[in-house]
Structure 1
Amino acid sequence: MRASRLVSLLLLLQSRGRVTARELAEALEVSIRTVYRDIDSLGAAGVPVYGEPGHEGGYRLLGGYQTRLTGLTAEEAEALFLTGLPAAAAQLGLTSAAATAQRKLLAALPAELRGRAGRVADRFHLDLPPWYVGAERTPHLAPIADATWNQQVLRIRYLRWAEPHEITRTVQPHGLVLKAGNWYLVARGEDRFRTYRISRILEVEVLSRSFDRADGFDLASHWDDYLDHFDRRRHRDTAVLRLSRRGLDRLQSLLEPAVVAAGKTTAGPDRTGWTEIEIPIESVDAAVPELLKFGGDVEVVAPEALRTEIIRALRAMNRAYGVEVRN
């Protein structure tokens, strides 16, 4: 375990340049005291590690020191092939590059690992889009990706839901996200970050001027914040439900995770054995088909408008099947 950590520490120094003890500790998930001991061990082994004191200090390798580490474990070699996304690479125009990189990696591996790594592709396949949903057309993805990589400004014509539906904006592309088989562009314009669905970009022009990325921008953190804000903005209303034991068991499979999580924090059983919960909803119209999935295992308590719409839908279903309903 310690030998593996020393290798990881050396690779961090080699790839990042100057790194503080705290940054190394966070990356390796160990204490700062452990980092100090590991640095001493590398020095004793002949690795030229130099420590610079002060606020701007840290550890670095002297003289552009490089090491060739080929000791991949079987699990590491297999994991490298599990990280490949051939469908995503194809959409980005990188099919040939990805295939070439994979061939080079296979050639560099020892014979006993080459077979294990190659078998991963035969036994595991990653299919990103959800069931029953066709892949979206993204004809502008490749130039957008290229501009994102090269930090070039884009002018896009975009089709949105709100009016006016077609808009033109000049943006600085900071990142691309692949979510449930759909591509999204995260870009800054007018000192504000916005998210654009790539399939809804009607036209794109890569401008000749470049831009500097926003200081401290982290794509993964920004995306998490965006999803959280999107859920809160979309779920503007709430509904109070009573669920049978079976309905409560089916909650997670019938409603989206954010709704389920909110409902579980309010759950409380009543005297009849049913459980009352409060969930966020987008609107009455959107909630009706979602709650009809529960059949007789749910009762809408509030709001009254939602309860009325559920009753209306059930009466319409009864009429369709010729069932007489008495008030």
Structure 2
Amino acid sequence: MRSRQNRRMRADRLVSLVLLLRQRGRLSATELARELEVSSRTVLRDVEALSAAGVPVYAERGRHGGFALLPGFRTDLTGLNHDEALALLIAGSRRGTPTIGLGSALASAMLKVVDALPESQRGAAADVAERLLVDPETDLLSRRLVADEVPDSVVAEVRRAVFAGHKLRIHYAAADQAPKWRTVDPIGLVTVRDQGYLLATRSGADRTYRLSRMVAAEELTEPAQRAARVDLARVWQERSTRFRTGGAQVAVLVRVDPARRDELVGTALAVRAEESDADGWLRLDVTFQDSRHAEWALWQLATDAEALTPQWLRTSLRDRAAAIATRYEGSSPHQSRTANASTSTSTSGSNR
């Protein structure tokens, strides 16, 4: 299996190399190695393989030399019309693909999309794609949207098990617990806001695992116990509903500035009731996953929101605010020490 996979990976790399030369012209071995994420030696071997296969790639020596294709050479790729190619280019700008370990495959696919366009449309599609930005890394307040970081080796094993229909062993660290080995039957992969999840069953019971909490993974040869077909959107919706309505959830009555309403709703699991308050604020009955989630969400809104109930949440937020106020009361001890040190240095200098 590994040998077959390695051959497929090399074939994909050879196609990407040809497409890079077609679209960018002459490139050095170093530039190709950087684009393909391999060594320069591997690039040289790939170029030799392409030449042996009849692809007209040649080397130009000298300071500005590199590798290039004979003019007019074209790969045999299925053509796309302008809108189809644009849709794929926009989809390729989304950041969810690296979460499930397909970042390099996406880059290769985008090269093929651009190359499949007629010459007259290629530049226009690229120009139009530059005018659209989907899922940037930060929002308007410069808050960085952090994606899950999952080791490539882990996500590759998970993805292979999902696609092959094999059982999977994962070394998984649940929240506030040490990692444990578990054997599961994988169903599918879901990416939500740059967070990757594995939907699976374990001993017949539904389980949802966050990819970033997997320390290690191993595809097994034993077939997974799962249905031949799956409606992954429906399964995800069902599990999301159970998550929102089960467990030790916390109901909170909140007053919030209308300008921060969407931010509050975006962090809550559900909104059970909403009405206008007498002073123009909104009064919402919302639920959170647990007490820690509720406290975190209200703390983000600072003075633009007030938890009315439960009382323990009001007390917790008050105590946290009091601790912060105490910390910043008066001058900083560090500043005092710096000032004293500066005074001491000046005094010493005047005595000399």
Query: What TM-score bracket applies, with the shorter chain setting the length?
Result: 0.5 to 0.7
- Partners of 2:133 and 2:105 lie apart in 1 by 19
Partners of 2:250 and 2:294 within 8 A in 1: no
d(CA) in 2 for partners of 1:238 and 1:109?
54
Cα offsets for 1:241-277 (capped at 9, x unmatched) = 334xxx1221213x242638606x332434x554433
Give the superposition deviation at 1:284: 4.4
Q: CA deviation at 1:142?
A: 1.0
In the TM superposition, residue 79 of structure 1 has moved relative to its aligned partner by: 0.7
My pick for the range that moved more, 121-130 or 286-295, is 121-130
Give the structure 1 partner of residue 168 of structure 2. Answer: 154
1:288 equivalent to 2:302? Answer: no
Q: Is the 2:99–2:191 Cα contact (8 Å) retained in structure 1? A: no
Query: Hey, what does 2:4 align to over in structure 1?
Result: none
Q: Does 1:262 align with 2:271?
A: yes
1:250 aligns with 260
What percent of counterpart residues are identical?
Answer: 30
TM score, norm. by length of structure 2: 0.58
The CA distance in 2 between the partners of 1:140 and 1:104, in whole Å, is 27
Taking the aligned partners of 1:285 and 1:87, their CA distance within structure 2 comes to 29
1:237 aligns with 2:244: no
Q: Which residue of 1 aligns with 2:218?
A: 205
Offset at residue 149 of structure 1 (A): 1.2
Cα distance in 2 for partners of 1:217, 1:128 equals 31
Corresponding residue to 2:188 among 161, 175, 178: 175
Once the two structures are superposed, residues 66-117 of structure 1 have per-residue CA deviations (whole angstroms, 9 ceiling, x without a partner) of xxxx885432221122122686656666566544544443343333322223
The residue identity in structure 1 corresponding to 2:114 is L
List per-residue Cα deviations over 1:200-255 (Å, max 9, x = no partner).
22232222222364155211222222233223336612122334xxx1221213x2
Amino acid in structure 1 at the alignment position of 2:249:
R
The alpha carbon displacement at 1:145 in A equals 0.9
Length-normalised TM-score, structure 1 = 0.62
**Residues 105 and 260 (structure 1), Cα distance of their counterparts in 2 relative to 1, 3 Å cut:** closer
SS in 2 for 1:153: strand
| Total equivalences in the alignment | 247
- Unaligned stretches of 5+ in structure 1? 1-69
Q: CA deviation at 1:141?
A: 0.6
Residues 148 and 132 (structure 1), Cα distance of their counterparts in 2 relative to 1, 3 Å cut: closer
Equivalent residues of 2:298, 2:305 under 8 A apart? yes
In structure 2, do the counterparts of structure 1 residues 117 and 208 end up closer, same or farther at CA, with 3 Å as the change threshold? same
Helix, strand or coil at the partner of 1:280 = strand
Quick one: distance in 2 between partners of 1:145 and 1:92? Answer: 7
Say yes or no: does 1:105 pair with 2:118. Answer: no
* RMSD of aligned residue pairs (Cα, Å): 3.5
In structure 2, what is the equivalent of residue 312 of structure 1? 319
Match of 1:185 in 2: 198
8 Å Cα contact 2:197/2:209 also seen in 1: yes
**3-state SS of paired residue (1:141):** helix
Which of 118, 127, 130 pairs up with 1:119? 127
Q: Mark the runs of 5 or more structure 2 residues left unpaired by the alignment.
A: 1-77, 139-143, 331-352
Question: CA separation in 2, counterparts of 1:310 and 1:284?
Answer: 11
Pair 1:217–1:129, CA change in 2 (3 A): farther
Q: Tell me, in whole angstroms, the C-alpha distance in 2 between the residues paired with 1:275 and 1:189.
A: 43
Of 142, 146, 149, the match for 2:156: 142
CA distance change for structure 1 residues 227 and 316 in 2, over 3 Å: closer, same or farther? same
Contact 2:186 2:199 in 1 (8 A): yes
Following TM superposition, by how much is the alpha carbon of 1:162 offset from its aligned partner in structure 2, in angstroms? 6.0
